[in-house]
Amino acid sequence: MNAKVMLVTGGAKRIGAATVQYFHQLGWNIVLHYQQSEQQAIALSNELNAGRADSVKLVQGSLSSIKDTEVVAQKAIEAFGKLDALINNASAFYPTPIGTISENDWFNLVGSNMQAPLFLAQYCHATLQQNKGVIINMVDIHASHPLRSHTLYCMAKSALVTMTKSLAQELAPQVRVNGLAPGAILWPENPLAEEDKANILKQIPLQKLGSMLDIAHAIEFLINASYVTGQIIAIDGGRSIASNTKA
């Protein structure tokens, strides 16, 4: 009855889905947000609700516009009547070479990676404050070392780093705000050439991809780390501090 409630944006697949599964098995109730991955969202919520009835609720919506983001936040708070954790995980990711950038790219990449995390924090901060909750923003090591031809994505993630530090001050002491900066955890959905994958692996001191469990463990650490706020932790196998990195 007193289960904690977590909103995971983009929770139907990949890192978001693994986070949903991990915290569900720890006893959390989950608001699983998705945009297009309806089948995966329904399948995952059915599976988890079969184990514990009414423990996962779905909220569909785009995070590209402020108006739609407000509706997502309202439905997410209504789902269980409160939130204890907001995990800003949803993210559009694709190259935007200069000369090709459209208004749609701006709304999609800036919307999902920067604007929505800010407005979700704004709409959810009262319930998070009441529950001494946390916000965890999924950033990227490329926020500080931009990935070639991904200017919009990297700009948005960089702003998300600043937002994390700024809101950590503003929402303290009730709400802690931190970020995780994954390196290579899962290859992007747009396939990468084998040579590019090999080049990335060469830059990682731990010489392997991270796992989705590594991310879930780091989120769990940040939820429990009651004296940590305004921090970004790289979960990247050492890639961001390696001397041979191009990240």
Ligand X SMILES: NC(=O)c1ccc[n+]([C@@H]2O[C@H](COP(=O)([O-])OP(=O)(O)OC[C@H]3O[C@@H](n4cnc5c(N)ncnc54)[C@H](OP(=O)(O)O)[C@@H]3O)[C@@H](O)[C@H]2O)c1
Beta carbon of residue 185, minimum distance to ligand X (angstroms, whole number): 3
Q: Which is nearer to ligand X, 128 or 219 (CB)?
A: 219
Q: Which is nearer to ligand X, 53 or 208 (CB)?
A: 208
Beta carbon of residue 235, minimum distance to ligand X (angstroms, whole number): 9
Q: Of 89, 83, 172, nearest to 137 (Cα)?
A: 89
Q: Which is nearer to ligand X, 182 or 237 (CB)?
A: 182
Q: Which is nearer to ligand X, 59 or 128 (CB)?
A: 59
Neighbours of 213 (CB within 10 A): 13
Separation of alpha carbons 15 and 19, rounded Å: 6
Beta bridge partners, 128, equal none
Residue of 22, 94, 123, 153 with catalytic role: 153
Neighbours of 40 (CB within 10 A): 17
Site residues, ligand X (CB under 6 A) = 10, 12-16, 34-37, 62-64, 89-93, 108, 111-112, 138, 140, 182, 184-186
DSSP SS3 for 82: coil
Beta carbon of residue 14, minimum distance to ligand X (angstroms, whole number): 3
| Cis peptide leading into residue 173 (ω within 30°) | yes
Tokens of 127: 């319930």
Beta carbon of residue 89, minimum distance to ligand X (angstroms, whole number): 5
Active site residue 22: no
Give the residue numbers marked as catalytic: 153
